[in-house]
């Protein structure tokens, strides 16, 4: 039977056996119970690091860039600031008077002025001026300044978190070490290759699909021709995992230098996933950065952003036909969205050899959902 939606989601539905050979996948209630969605928003996403765009927009002093953190999910108005001393910070973009959103468009300014009643803030977030408040007691106090939000950078990209469970560098440590020979920060963004995909499925179904190569020969015949699937590997880290794809002869591949653990191997792609919703696909042509944005229990948007290392390799090999592979993935994820609601389906099992990444995701998800 399909359980009725509840006001509270019991995270015991996400009890995942640590032994993959015995484990079952999450109870299907996780994918359509609105209470599970609300819990994931607060316990998973509000505590996670989220991509906030490239740093090029903040190169000049006194740059202000408003962002909407995870639109459709967290919907938090934030402001990225590069001040006159080149210091970078993230502030709330909500006026501490009556809640007006302060900065609507990227701009350069020495101060922030609210367009509603003209309250002013400096670029450190301190309130500096407010008309007609002379008689107000205990004013200004600390709560009249703009709250600061943790911001960190990785390879030229900004990341923010409302309430980080772990430091960003802890999430990225394995990736940075493994790819230390690759100057990712110098890859050049190509906005003409940006894509936003939206579809009617739960965000976690999309992530699960990303995290296994088991489906590649059945869902992606074109991609399968570029890869040595018998050599496909996955590695699990504390907060992230890697799928390592080896190129077939004749297809583009990295040739990692001596000192890299991959030296001597023809790497077609490093497919990294960082909990909960970031994918860093590193191909010989460059980086495809994907962000999975939950828009509700049945709707998801995925951002694709491209940073080019070698334009001559665009369109080739495993990282070539990304649109085609995405459509193939979306088609199967939409079918799973319909199937997982079935009265005749409750949960499934994992391939011990090929679905370790999916099992890892579910274990991290369960941990986050159970943390009060």
Contact partner at residue 223 from ligand FES, Fe ion, none, CB < 5 to 8 Å by partner kind: none
Reported in sequence order, the residue ranges of the chain that DSSP labels E, i.e. its strands, are 50-54, 63-69, 76-82, 88-92, 107-108, 112-113, 120-121, 127-129, 148-149, 151-154, 157-160, 188-189, 195-199, 233-236, 240-246, 267-274, 278-283, 286-296, 299-308
Cβ at position 219, least distance to Fe ion in Å: 6
Using the Cα atoms of residue 94, residue 368, residue 290 and residue 197 in order, give the sign of their dihedral: negative
Contact partner at residue 120 from ligand FES, Fe ion, none, CB < 5 to 8 Å by partner kind: none
Nearer residue to ligand FES within complex by CB, 127 or 302: 127
Is there binding between residue 144 and Fe ion (CB under 5 A)? no
Is there binding between residue 212 and Fe ion (CB under 5 A)? no
Stretch of 6-14, 112-120, 233-241, 326-334 lying at the interface with Fe ion (CB under 5 A):
326-334
Task: Determine the Cα–Cα distance for residues 98 and 116; give it in Å rounded to an integer.
Answer: 9
Q: Give the β-pairing of 188-189 and 195-199.
A: unpaired
Contact partner at residue 329 from Fe ion, ligand FES, none, CB < 5 to 8 Å by partner kind: Fe ion
Nearer residue to Fe ion within complex by CB, 69 or 333: 333
Nearer residue to Fe ion within complex by CB, 189 or 329: 329
**Rg of the chain over all Cα atoms, to the nearest angstrom:** 22
Contact partner at residue 86 from Fe ion, ligand FES, none, CB < 5 to 8 Å by partner kind: none
Is there binding between residue 329 and Fe ion (CB under 5 A)? yes
Cross-strand partners of 333 = none
Contact partner at residue 119 from ligand FES, Fe ion, none, CB < 5 to 8 Å by partner kind: ligand FES
Which residues contact ligand FES (rule: CB under 6 A)? Answer: 95, 97-98, 100, 114, 116-119
Cβ at position 64, least distance to ligand FES in Å: 16
Nearer residue to ligand FES within complex by CB, 81 or 172: 81
Cβ at position 115, least distance to ligand FES in Å: 8
The position carrying tokens 């006026």 is 95
Nearer residue to Fe ion within complex by CB, 35 or 332: 332
CA distances from 171 to 159, 255, 283 (A): 11, 25, 20
**DSSP state, residue 131:** T
For 82-102, the DSSP string reads: E-TT--EEEEE-B-TTT--B-
Cβ at position 332, least distance to Fe ion in Å: 8
Nearer residue to ligand FES within complex by CB, 12 or 107: 107
Q: Give the β-pairing of 107-108 and 63-69.
A: antiparallel
Cβ at position 139, least distance to ligand FES in Å: 13
CB 341 within 8 A of CB 335: no
Q: By CB under 5 A, name the binding residues for Fe ion.
A: 329
């Amino acid at each position: 039977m399909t359980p009725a939606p509840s006001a509270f989601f019991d995270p015991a539905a996400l009890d995942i056996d640590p032994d993959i050979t015995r484990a079952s996948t999450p109870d299907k209630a996780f994918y359509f119970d609105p209470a599970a969605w609300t819990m994931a928003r607060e316990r998973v996403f509000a505590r996670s690091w989220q991509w906030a765009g490239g740093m090029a927009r903040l190169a000049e002093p006194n740059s202000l860039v408003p962002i909407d953190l995870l639109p459709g999910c967290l919907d938090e108005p934030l402001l990225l600031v590069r001040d006159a001393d080149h210091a970078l910070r993230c502030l709330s973009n909500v006026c501490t008077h009556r809640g007006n959103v302060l900065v609507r468009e990227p701009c350069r300014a020495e101060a922030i002025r609210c367009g509603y009643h003209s309250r002013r803030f400096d670029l450190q977030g301190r309130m500096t001026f407010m008309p007609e408040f002379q008689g107000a007691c205990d004013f200004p106090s600390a709560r009249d300044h703009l709250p600061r939000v943790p911001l960190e950078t990785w390879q030229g990209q900004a990341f923010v978190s409302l309430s980080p469970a772990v430091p960003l560098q802890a999430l990225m440590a394995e990736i940075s070490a493994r790819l230390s020979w690759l100057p990712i920060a110098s890859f050049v963004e190509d906005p003409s290759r940006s894509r936003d995909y939206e579809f009617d499925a739960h965000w976690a179904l999309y992530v699960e699909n990303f995290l296994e190569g088991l489906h590649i020969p059945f869902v992606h015949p074109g991609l399968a021709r570029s890869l040595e699937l018998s050599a496909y590997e996955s590695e699990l880290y504390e907060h992230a995992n890697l799928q390592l794809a080896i190129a077939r002869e004749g297809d583009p591949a990295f040739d990692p230098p001596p000192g890299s653990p991959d030296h001597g191997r023809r790497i077609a792609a490093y497919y990294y996933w960082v909990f909960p919703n970031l994918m860093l696909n590193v191909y010989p042509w460059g980086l495809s950065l994907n962000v999975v944005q939950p828009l509700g229990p049945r709707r998801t948007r995925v951002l694709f952003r491209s940073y080019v290392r070698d334009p001559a390799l665009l369109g080739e090999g495993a990282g070539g036909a990304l649109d085609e592979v995405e459509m193939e993935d979306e088609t199967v994820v939409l079918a799973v969205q319909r199937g997982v609601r079935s009265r005749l389906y409750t949960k499934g099992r994992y391939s011990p050899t090929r679905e370790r990444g999916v099992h890892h995701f579910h274990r991290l998800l369960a941990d986050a959902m159970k943390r009060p």
